Amino acid sequence: MLAPAKINLALHVTGQRADGYHLLDSLVCFADIGDRLSVTVADEMTLTLTGPMAGKLTADADNLVLQAAHLLDPIKTAQITLEKILPVASGIGGGSSDAATCLRLLADLWHLPLPDPAAVLTLGADVPVCLAGGAARMQGIGETISPLSLPAFPAVLVNPGLSLSTPAVFQQLASKTNPTLQPPPTSLDHSQWLLYLKVQRNDLEAPAIALCPTIAEVLQALVQQSGCALARMSGAGATSFGLFETDAAARMAAQEIQARQPNWWVKPTRLA
């Protein structure tokens, strides 16, 4: 089963609770690329890692996939295989999407209901929205999810081969009480959504660039491509996305960026 990349089209940090958790107001959608998970019946709980990014992870107990499995049922067992395709710690919710997909697969395998939302939130702020599985406005610390209808956006995802610590990015944030999102469009008009997105922000982009200046180079590389309507960092980075007018333009842009930066992770996709 596909565990799709999660993209923050906009991410506003609107406050911080007394317990340290940050309050967010974010527009989330999903790509048509991601990791892949499968589960089978087994006599013991095991996690097998494959794929081009598998070397960045371990199959230890702190792996978010195993944490999700144990949250669903601490006793039952299964053989879980994770084909890791997305970059690790890259702002596109790979681990959260993997955990959500694991919950769905094991709930079906074990004939169990999914955990309640509060329990799911303990796995991470992005896990509930990944479990919901559709475009949404995500608020609070990740617990408030309002489904949205979005047009499909041809896009390019670019990661410069770097990982960022989310807590470190938040620590660099100059202001933690920023304005919320403006009300999203209610239509599926592509141009109207682009105009709307251009006046929203990712409040974590500037602090992430301060920690990882290469992100600014990625954004510039996207902006320079023909047909790029918007370039922005996703989540806490270091992956950025460019929205394009057509799938063909996105594919051409991806080829051009990859040719110039062969060590970067570059993927054309569709966001919806």
Catalytic residue set: 6, 126
Spacing of C-alpha 142 from chain mean position: 13
**Neighbouring residues of 187: CB distance < 8 A, sequence distance ≥ 6:** none
| Bridge partners of residue 228, in order along the sequence | 244
SS3 string of the chain?
Answer: CEEEEEEEEEEEEEEECCCCCEEEEEEEEEEEEEEEEEEECCCCCEEEEECCCHHHCCCCCCCHHHHHHHHHCCCCCCEEEEECCCCCCCCCCHHHHHHHHHHHHHHHHHCCCCCCHHHHHCCCCCHHHHHHCCCEEEEECCCEEEECCCCCEEEEEEECCCCCCHHHHHHCCCCCCCCCCCCCCCCCCHHHHHHHHHCCCECCHHHHHHHCCHHHHHHHHHHCCCCEEEEEECCCCCCEEEEECCHHHHHHHHHHHHHHCCCCEEEEEEEC
Q: How many CB atoms lie within 10 A of CB 220?
A: 11
